[in-house]
Structures are given as C-alpha cells and as structure tokens.
C-alpha cells in the first residue's frame, strides 16, 4: 500500500513545503506579498485621511505607484524577508507570556504594565534582530544589534523611573492636594 502512495505523490499534488518553495521561486514572497501590503496600507491611509479627496481612482493610482516604486530595488524585499520571521518568533513569545500570565492569576489587575513591558522587550528584540540582518544600511544594523543589551538596560532604567514617577502615592514627597488651591482666584 505504501508503494502506491510513494508512486502516486505526483498525481495527488504537492506537499505544502513544495508549494511554498515554488511560490518563493516565482517571487510571491519577495515581490507580490510586499507589493500587496504596501498597496493596501497606502490605499487605506489615502482613503482614511482623504488628503487628495475621496476619489478612489486617484488614491488607487498613488498607492499603485508607491507600491511599485518601493519594490524597484531589493531593499523592501530584503527587509520584509528579515523582519517578518522575527516578528513571528516575537508573537510566539508573546503567546507563551500570555499563557504564563494567565496561569499566575488575574491578568486584569497587573496586565497593562506587564503587557507593555513584555511587548516592548519583544519589539526591541524583533527590531534589533531584523536590523542585524540588514547590511544594506551600511553596517549600522550590526552595530545596533551589538548595542542591544546596553539599550535594553537603559530602557529598563527609564521604565522603572517612569513607573516610580507615575505612582506618586508611595513616597517622594512634594506637591499634594493643598498646593493646587493655594493661589486663590477664579
């Protein structure tokens, strides 16, 4: 029975990997999908903001030209090929963080600050990972990726300071409710 399946593979079609590899050979991932994404975003922004009015033909023409001009060189294709795999890994990490936070208790009470921190860390890892792959920036991507730990430490310190400043109820002195009304007047 297994011989029939092995011989009949060509008759019944390709595996998903074969189809995706064929699409990659045809340029679907390098040109078609980036073009569609750029076209849709520019067209949606043009329709929403109505910078040039609500003429859909003009908006579509501008979006079409923008999308084609963006793909004139391989910068966009290379950047998209670099950033979206990292973004996919970042979404996987975010999913695991959501599951772990769900196990720890009520995510509504501590959710906003924790989600902001986790999202910021994932964003930075995705950004630095993608910039590390892009050598078309003249090598700046590699130097930024190497500076990641230092930048992460700076962002962590600024985040802690922001958290302390945002919660004035725990010490710090200064100000208070009586200061506001001291000037009298209207």
> What's the rounded mean pLDDT across residues 147-162?
74
* pLDDT tens digits for range 119-133: 778 777 777 777 666
pLDDT tens sequence across 38-70:
999 999 999 999 988 888 899 999 999 999 999
Cα–Cα distance list, 20 to 23, 38, 91, 154, 161 (Å): 5, 21, 21, 41, 47
Q: How confident is the model at residue 106 (pLDDT cuts 50, 70, 90)?
A: low
Neighbouring CB atoms inside 10 A of 179's CB total 9
Is the pLDDT at 3 greater than 50? The verdict is: no
Greater model confidence, 98 or 84: 84
φ, ψ dihedrals at 174, nearest 5°: 75, 140
Cβ atoms of 39 and 64 within 8 Å: the answer is: yes
In 3D space, the residue among 154, 27, 20 whose CA is nearest the CA of residue 80 turns out to be: 27
- Mean pLDDT across the chain: 74
Q: Is the dihedral of CA 25, 29, 33, 34 positive or negative?
A: negative
């Amino acid at each position: 029975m297994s011989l029939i399946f092995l011989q009949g593979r060509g008759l019944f079609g390709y595996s998903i990997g074969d189809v995706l590899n064929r699409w990659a050979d045809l340029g679907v991932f390098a040109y078609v999908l980036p073009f569609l994404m750029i076209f849709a975003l520019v067209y949606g922004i043009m329709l929403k903001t109505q910078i040039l009015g609500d003429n859909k033909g003009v908006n579509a023409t501008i979006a079409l030209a923008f999308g084609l001009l963006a793909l004139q060189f391989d910068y966009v294709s290379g950047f998209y090929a670099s950033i979206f795999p990292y973004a996919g890994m970042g979404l996987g990490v975010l999913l695991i963080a959501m599951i772990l936070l769900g196990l720890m208790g009520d995510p509504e009470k501590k959710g906003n600050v924790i989600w902001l921190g986790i999202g910021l860390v994932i964003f930075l890892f995705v950004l630095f990972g993608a910039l590390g792959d892009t050598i078309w920036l003249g090598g700046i991507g590699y130097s930024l990726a190497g500076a990641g730990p230092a930048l992460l430490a700076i962002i962590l310190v600024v985040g802690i300071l922001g958290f302390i400043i945002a919660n004035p109820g725990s010490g710090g002195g200064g100000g208070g409710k009586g200061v506001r009304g001291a000037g009298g007047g209207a």
